[in-house]
């Protein structure tokens, strides 16, 4: 089964000293990087038949690592973001990956077995102004989330007060994104910012790595804004968008903690099936695993600790009656169709 993973913080891991060119068994103390035990490296993704991915440029206002910068320090944010873009360029130059510019993902990858990566900016602060968006697109950016959980210069994130939304600069950025055909990722927006983004855009949107609020305590849950309401799920589907399943344990089951039992594969499948039920289709759910996105392989759902374990999701759904075609859609086909349609619309 060929896999498209729509959310992997690969460059973040590199700048935090994980050598992603090595297999897991070759990682040592100086090459493991953050959040051990590791789950993700480029060879491990290839071993799992992950052929396509959205690799992020993840930066954090107030963060302590090389991804961090002082809040509202524009130039520090730019430097942090550009450093991660250079990681993908270096890997491409060294023959580890290919860059899928403008979201042109090859549905039949070549025999070199290289992962095709489109860049997803997770927090737009590194982009000085919307006028500079062309440079980022030329570097391989295909999607942007206007913020991470915290406030950015463009929008309020899911950790902000829910009444905070887009900034005037965020409205300008959405307009610039539309002009150059960059996809809006809703995953980390506050509730109001989500609503405003949907009001100000008419085309397809995605949620690269988000799960269902209705299964996680609803609007009364502590981190409710991080998850998608039923209404937003249906709106993403109505526009032809796709939602990537996040496998972080806290986003699969209410009350999951580091000290408690991990959520099961069935807990993960519940989110897939809820999206299918709400949308009346299996075409709008896919993978955005967020493996090693600030946590270790031991903090995913039980039974999945590295990319090669993803086949267990497909096996469980096969047991629930999913057809081979439906499983291929979940694994990669739904994302590939999304980008194919996006490019067709862009070129009209």
Q: Give the whole-angstrom CA distance, residue 119 versus residue 102.
A: 9
* Lowest-pLDDT choice from 29-33, 120-124, 211-215: 29-33
Containing structural domain, residue 127: 3-347
Tell me if the bond preceding 37 is cis, omega within 30° of 0. Answer: yes
Distances (CA, A) of 275 to 28, 186, 284, 342: 40, 16, 7, 21
- Determine the pLDDT at residue 108: 81
| Residue 253 banded pLDDT, cuts 50, 70, 90 | very high
Average pLDDT of span 47-60: 97
For the cut 70, the answer to whether the pLDDT of residue 207 exceeds it is yes
Contacts 24+ apart (CB under 8 A), 61-69: 61/123, 61/125, 61/148, 61/150, 61/151, 61/152, 62/150, 65/15, 65/16, 65/34, 66/15, 66/16, 67/12, 67/15, 67/16, 69/125
For tokens 């999206």, the residue is 275
Query: CA-to-CA distance for 169 and 190, rounded, in angstroms?
Result: 16
Q: What is the mean pLDDT of residues 283-312?
A: 97
pLDDT tens column, 167-201: 999 999 999 999 999 999 999 999 999 999 999 99
Q: What is the mean pLDDT of the chain?
A: 95
> Once rounded to an integer, what is the mean pLDDT over residues 215-225?
93
Considering Cα of 164, then 191, then 60, then 129, what sign does the dihedral take?
negative
- Judged by DSSP in three states, 1 sits in coil
pLDDT band at 346 (very low <50, low <70, confident <90, very high): confident
Q: 12-21 pLDDT, tens per residue? A: 999 999 999 9
Q: Are 13 and 5 in contact (CB under 8 A)?
A: no
Q: Which residue has the tokens 């299964």?
A: 215
Give the three-class secondary structure for 275.
Answer: helix
Q: Is the dihedral of CA 298, 303, 309, 311 positive or negative?
A: negative
Say which CATH number the domain at 339 has.
3.20.20.140
pTM for the predicted model, two decimal places: 0.97
Q: Out of 107-121, 302-316, 323-337, which region has the weakest mean confidence (pLDDT)?
A: 107-121
Taking Cα atoms as reference points, which of 85, 15, 34 lies closest to residue 292? 34
Q: Which pLDDT belongs to residue 256?
A: 74
Say how far apart CA 346 and CA 327 lie, in whole Å. Answer: 28
Tens-digit pLDDT profile for residues 36-52: 999 999 999 999 999 99
pLDDT of residue 255: 79
Tokens of 258: 């580091």
Phi-psi map region of 292: left, alpha, beta (phi>0 left; psi -120 to 50 alpha): left
pLDDT number for residue 194: 98
Q: pLDDT tens across 89-106, in order?
A: 999 999 999 999 888 998
Q: Give the burial class of 26: count Cβ atoms within 10 A of its Cβ; 0-12 exposed, 13-18 middle, 19 or more buried.
A: exposed
CB count in 10 Å sphere of residue 199: 10
Q: What is the pLDDT of residue 55?
A: 98
Q: What is the pLDDT of residues 113-143, one digit of tens each?
A: 799 999 999 999 999 999 999 999 999 999 9
Domain count along the chain: 1
In 3-state terms, what secondary structure has residue 97? Answer: strand
Per-residue confidence (pLDDT) for residue 196, from 0 to 100: 98
Under 8 Å between Cβ of 300 and 291? yes
Say if CB 92 and CB 154 are below 8 A apart.
no
> Which comes out higher in pLDDT, residue 258 or 305?
305
Report yes or no: 170 and 130 within 8 Å, Cβ to Cβ.
no
The string of pLDDT tens digits covering residues 140-173 is 999 999 999 999 999 999 999 999 999 999 999 9
Q: How far apart are CA 53 and CA 112, in angstroms?
A: 16
| Percent share of the chain, pLDDT over 70 | 99
SS3 label, residue 204: coil
Least confident of 106-110, 126-130, 241-245, 330-334: 106-110
Per-residue pLDDT band for 260 (boundaries 50, 70, 90) equals confident
CA distance to 146, 296, 310, per residue, from 285 (Å)? 22, 24, 15
């Amino acid at each position: 089964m060929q896999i498209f993973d729509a959310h992997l913080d690969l460059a973040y891991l590199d700048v935090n000293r994980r050598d992603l060119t090595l297999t897991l068994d070759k990682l040592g103390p100086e090459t493991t990087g953050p959040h051990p035990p590791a789950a993700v490296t480029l060879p491990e993704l290839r071993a799992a038949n992950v052929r396509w991915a959205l690799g992020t440029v993840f930066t954090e206002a107030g963060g302590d690592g090389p991804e961090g910068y002082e809040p509202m320090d524009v130039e520090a944010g730019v430097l942090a973001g550009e450093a991660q873009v250079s990681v993908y360029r270096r890997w491409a130059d060294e023959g580890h990956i290919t860059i899928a510019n403008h979201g042109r993902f090859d549905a039949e990858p070549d025999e070199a077995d290289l992962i095709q990566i489109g860049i997803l900016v997770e927090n737009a602060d590194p982009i000085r102004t919307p006028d500079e968006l062309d440079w980022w697109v030329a570097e391989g950016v295909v999607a942007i989330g206007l913020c991470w959980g915290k406030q950015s210069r463009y929008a309020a994130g899911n950790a902000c007060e829910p009444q905070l939304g887009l900034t005037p600069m965020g409205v300008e950025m959405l307009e610039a994104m539309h002009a150059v055909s960059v996809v809006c990722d809703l995953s980390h927006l506050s509730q109001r910012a989500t609503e405003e983004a949907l009001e100000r855009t008419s085309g397809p949107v995605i949620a690269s790595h988000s799960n269902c609020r209705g299964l996680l305590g609803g609007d009364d849950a502590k981190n409710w804004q991080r998850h998608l309401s039923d209404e937003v799920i249906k709106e993403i589907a109505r526009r032809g968008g796709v939602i990537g399943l996040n496998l972080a344990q806290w986003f699969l089951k209410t009350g999951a903690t580091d000290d408690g039992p991990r959520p099961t594969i069935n807990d993960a499948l519940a989110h897939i099936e809820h999206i299918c039920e709400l949308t009346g289709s299996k075409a709008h759910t896919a993978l955005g695993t967020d493996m090693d996105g600030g946590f270790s392989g031991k903090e995913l759902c039980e039974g999945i600790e590295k990319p090669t374990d993803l086949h267990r999701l497909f096996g469980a759904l096969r047991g629930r009656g999913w057809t081979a075609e439906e499983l291929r859609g979940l694994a990669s086909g739904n994302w590939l169709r999304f980008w194919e349609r996006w490019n067709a619309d862009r070129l009209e």
